[in-house]
Amino acid sequence: MLDDKRTLLLDMDGTLLDLAFDNHFWTEQVPAALAAARGEHLNDVKQELVAAIRASEGTLAWYCLEHWSRELNFDLVAFKETVANRIRFLDGARDFLARARAAGFNLVLVTNAHPETLRIKDQQTNVTQLVDDVVCSHRVGLPKEDERFWPGLLDRVGEAPERLLMVDDSAPVLATASRFVPVTAIAKPDSRRPTRDMSPYPSVERIVDLLAE
């Protein structure tokens, strides 16, 4: 998959960092904290949160801590900082970054994560120090799912599309990205959940597996 590639466009959550943190944060920790703060039943809060999140899926708001802090009347940035010690690299991901860099690949982190999420996760992992460039969709003003995001990214990278590879765990992102660049999916973004079928996209279970191709 890396034959003739020069630049790797790398998602963060679920590609380099374990999505187990985010899944647990949004499905368990946030609802529990909200229920305690409001004095409401946990299941009621979970249902409300799931409905709200689904309604904004695929937009920048879906990823935006400031948006959800306002919507929920709860400081999610401060709360995320209290549980940040759970943030981890996926198995083999740190090694992959070191080996890919040593092999001469240009590594670009391309993330939909909110800047505060990126800051908190970088404090725990130093992930931005292990790549050559960082593109945050919030600063672009468009999520990766939006096809308008990609021409600007290609201009910034300055590489022929066939020399690029986008690696991501999100099917909607892969669907859009594949119109512009070759893509590969991560089939096991959450270390606590089963491997997924990512058809029709080529996939590896872990990003480090790309180096074994």
So which residues are the catalytic ones? 4
200, two tokens = 């029709």
Host H or E run for residue 59: none
From the CB of residue 165, how many other CB atoms can be counted at a distance below 10 Å? 23
User: Please, are residues 186 and 204 in contact by the beta-carbon 8 Å criterion?
Assistant: yes
Q: What is the Cα–Cα distance from 155 to 159, expressed in whole angstroms?
A: 8
**Distance (Å, rounded) from C-alpha 170 to C-alpha 13?**
10
> Which single residue is written with the structure tokens 């946990």?
42
CA 16 to CA 76: how far, in whole Å? 22
Residues 149 and 137 sit within 8 Å (Cβ to Cβ): yes
